[in-house]
Amino acid sequence: MLQRIADLRAEIEGLTAADAAEVETLRIKYLSKKGLVPALMNDFRSVPAEDKRAVGQAINELKNFATDKINSLRDALACGNNEASGLDLTRTASPIHQGTRHPLSLVREEIIAIFRRLGFNIAEGPEIEDDWHLFSSLNFAADHPARDMQDTFFIGSKPDVLLRSHTSSVQTRVMESTTPPIRIICPGRVYRNEAISARAHCFFHQVEALYVDKNVTFADLLQTLQYFAAELFGSETKIRLRPSYFPFTEPSAEMDISCNICGGKGCSFCKGTGWVEILGCGMVDPNVLDACGIDSKVYSGFALGMGVERITNLKYRVNDLRLFSENDVRFLDEFVGTH
């Protein structure tokens, strides 16, 4: 009897089924009232008394094994049907909205990637700053307009604690604590006391770069600017530099690129000139180097800075700065699949 049970178990273990109908046929054959497993109970009466316990236990185990086998065949076919039909029964019934990166994040990371290829490292600093790192160390005069309440957010009653109005403060912190060569890029949010409109906001984002080493010249700055413009806007992009003034650079310049919207022919965006300003730059003023503990007779350097919103406007033609901070999903949906 035990051998008969073992042979039937081996037979059941090798069962297969191609469809639900075959599974049902196997269930009837082995587990129905007239099936092979219940039939063993009819022969149980002829088993010697001393063997009944072992045989009864073996029959019960066989019944459970056959039931599990039939159920596993049924489940396997059910899973196969789901896969074939492309249905995922674990997926939520609600539609899944595809998200996207914020356009400012896309452009900022693209700028960072370009400078990383030139060997620049990322440097970060606090958004709440002191006067020394934000103004004095950068050669701002005591009566410079940027110190005025109209431009700068001061915190509390202390005139020395304020929200940074540019990320140049990160550069001074790095120069104070680092021996050249220094090659850094400083992305971050800045704050200025301005009326909010389509063309201005009380906070925006900047990316600044600094390179300090021996024998750094204006030619190094020019080559960096040409490479940056070509990588960000295309190899056909032209640049031009116009003399300007910044307290922390001398000489200073503003850089324009040929308008990537009209190709330099003139349009409403470039006001018919064919050129669009994108950043300020210049050679680091020796006074700034000396203030940060770097010998200006041994080292020189260049710095440049740009507004991320400005670059984003050029790449994606966003005509209202307020859209960047309102987080309207209709606006963000326009950038799905951008990167």
Identify the CA nearest to 135 among candidates 165, 177, 174.
Answer: 165
> What residue ranges define each of the domains in the chain, with the CATH number in brackets?
2-85 (no CATH), 103-335 (3.30.930.10)
CA-to-CA separations, 244 to 250, 253, 281, 296, in angstroms, rounded: 9, 5, 9, 22
Reported as a single tens digit per residue, the pLDDT across 48-105 is 777 778 877 877 887 888 888 888 888 887 766 555 456 667 777 777 677 778 889 9
- Give me the pLDDT at residue 75, please: 83
Would you state the structure tokens that stand for residue 283, as one six-digit string? 């050679």
- Give me the pLDDT at residue 87, please: 66
Torsion angles phi and psi, residue 154, rounded to 5:
-95, 145
- Give me the pLDDT at residue 337, please: 63
Torsion angles phi and psi, residue 126, rounded to 5:
-70, 150
Does the predicted model carry a pTM greater than 0.75?
no
Reported as a single tens digit per residue, the pLDDT across 104-146 is 999 999 999 999 999 999 999 999 999 899 999 998 888 777 7
Mean pLDDT per block of 10 residues along the chain (339 residues) reads 80 84 84 80 75 78 84 78 60 73 91 96 94 90 72 80 92 94 96 83 93 97 96 92 94 92 77 90 96 96 94 84 84 74
Would you state the structure tokens that stand for residue 146, as one six-digit string? 């940027």
Query: Helices marked H in the chain — which ranges?
Result: 2-13, 20-31, 36-43, 52-85, 103-117, 131-134, 168-177, 218-233, 286-291, 308-316, 323-326, 329-332
Number of H helices, E strands in the chain: 12, 9
Residue 208, H or E segment: strand 203-213
- Give me the pLDDT at residue 289, please: 96
- Give me the pLDDT at residue 29, please: 84
Instruction: Kindly state the DSSP code that residue 90 receives in the 8-state scheme.
Output: T
Neighbouring residues of 238: CB distance < 8 A, sequence distance ≥ 6: 229, 257, 258, 264
